[in-house]
Every structure is written in structure tokens, then in C-alpha cells.
């Protein structure tokens, strides 16, 4: 009797092995050959599901984006948090403040670097939209200062979150989680009435 293979489950397993390999070796070091070795598969089996490194990296990034989006949605839907607490926690949810978010950010940065290498824009990475949506949420709840330019402040918040993420990722012991939280709180205070 032929062995029945769950192709979706196999793709998810490959993505998980690739995720772990990227965290350990970076995007360039996470080759199909290395991933196949860890997954106890042949490179050909990996290429059956992901014909090239770029498609595999896209699969990994999609999994990370879904995980982060769910994390943020749970915060925004929470009935136990005020609007400003939701905003603060949603912004903190994307920053590398623990091992899980550190791994997510390493993959995120590897992916951003990879698409930059191919000459594609890295600006539209979902983070800008989060910042814009955060400010819209504050505005809808009449908490955003009236005279603020939404577009420019979305860009500013995006740059702040990007900068904090890079500093924490590259120098995890130089900036504390508490300091990051205070910086986020100060920025929310600057934006709100």
C-alpha cells in the first residue's frame, strides 16, 4: 500500500525547519541543502514544495506574518484593555522582547534583507500599516491629538518601531525591555490628548 503524504503538513514542517535554520544561520546560511539535512529529506524533496530559496523564504515569512497578525488581533480584541493599552501592547507585540519575538524579528529582518538584495522595496512591510492603523484607532476613539498629520506621524512611529527593533535585535543587552516600554509609552503620550 502506498504511503499517504499530507502535503500541507509537509510544507508546514519544511517552513518550520527553514524558520529554525534562518534563526540559527541567517537567510543566506539557510540553504535548501541545510534545511533538507535538518528535515531528513533530500534537497529535491524540499524543491518539490518550494522550487527555489526565495519561495521558501516567502513561505517562512508568511508564517511569521500570520503569527504576528494573530498576536496583534488578540490584543486589539481584548475587552480587558483600554485603547491606549491596546496600542501600547500591539506595538510591543512586534518588538523582540523575548525569545519568540526575537526569533520572529530575526526572520523578519532576514526576509527584508533578502528582498532588498533583489532590489525590491522593504518599506511596505506590514509594520507601517500597523502604525497607521494604531493611529486610526486612537483617532476613532477621540484620543489622538487633533492637529497631528496622520501620514507623517505614521511614518515617524514606523521609524521608531523599526529603530527599536534593530537596536534590540543587534544589541539585546544594551537596551532593556523596560526602556523600550517607556519609549513606547512616551510616544503614545505625545500622540494622545
For each successive 10 residues of the chain (193 residues), what is the average pLDDT? 76 89 75 85 90 83 90 95 97 94 84 65 72 95 94 95 93 94 97 95
Instruction: Indicate whether 136 belongs to any domain.
Output: yes
- Cell 490584543 identifies what position? 75
Question: Is residue 18 assigned to a domain?
Answer: yes
What CATH number is given to the structural domain containing 55?
1.10.357.10
How far lies 50's CA from each of 32, 58, 62, 134, 178, in Å? 9, 10, 13, 35, 40
Does 1 fall in a domain? no
pLDDT of residue 144: 96
pLDDT, residue 117, reads 63
181 within a domain of the structure (yes/no): yes
pLDDT for the residue 52:
83
Instruction: Answer yes or no: is 2 within a domain.
Output: no
Rounded-to-integer distance, Cα 40 and Cα 27, Å:
20
Query: What letters, b where the CB count within 10 A reaches 16 and e where it falls short, cover 62-98?
Result: ebbbeebeebbeebbeeeeeebbebbbbbbbbbbbbe
pLDDT for residue 130: 92
Supply the pLDDT for residue 25: 78
Q: For residue 116, give the C-alpha cell.
A: 532588498
Q: Residue 148 is placed in which grid cell?
A: 497631528
How large is the C-alpha radius of gyration of the chain? Answer: 19
Give the global pTM.
0.82
In a domain, 144, yes or no: yes
**How many domains, in total, are found in the chain?**
1
Q: Is the CA virtual torsion 175, 178, 183, 187 positive or negative?
A: positive
Residue 31 belongs to domain spanning: 7-191
Instruction: State residue 112's pLDDT score.
Output: 72
Residue 77 belongs to some domain of the structure: yes
Distance CA 176, CA 168 (A): 8
Amino acid at each position: 500500500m502506498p504511503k499517504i503524504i499530507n502535503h500541507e503538513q509537509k510544507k508546514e514542517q519544511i517552513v518550520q525547519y527553514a524558520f529554525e535554520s534562518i534563526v540559527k544561520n541567517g537567510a543566506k546560511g539557510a540553504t535548501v541543502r541545510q534545511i533538507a539535512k535538518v528535515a531528513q529529506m533530500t534537497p529535491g524533496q524540499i524543491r518539490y514544495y518550494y522550487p527555489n530559496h526565495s519561495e521558501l523564504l516567502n513561505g517562512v515569512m508568511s508564517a511569521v506574518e500570520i503569527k504576528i497578525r494573530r498576536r496583534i488581533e488578540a490584543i486589539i480584541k481584548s475587552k480587558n484593555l483600554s485603547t491606549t493599552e491596546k496600542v501600547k501592547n500591539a506595538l510591543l507585540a512586534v518588538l523582540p522582547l523575548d525569545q519568540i519575538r526575537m526569533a520572529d524579528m530575526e526572520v523578519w529582518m532576514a526576509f527584508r534583507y533578502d528582498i532588498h538584495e533583489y532590489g525590491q522595496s522593504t518599506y511596505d512591510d506590514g509594520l507601517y500599516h500597523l502604525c497607521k492603523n494604531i493611529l486610526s484607532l486612537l483617532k476613532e476613539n477621540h484620543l489622538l491629538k487633533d492637529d497631528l498629520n496622520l501620514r507623517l506621524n505614521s511614518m515617524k512611529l514606523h521609524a521608531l518601531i523599526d529603530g527599536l527593533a534593530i537596536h534590540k535585535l543587534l544589541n539585546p543587552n544594551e537596551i532593556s525591555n523596560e526602556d523600550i516600554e517607556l519609549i513606547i509609552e512616551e510616544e503614545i503620550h505625545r500622540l494622545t490628548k
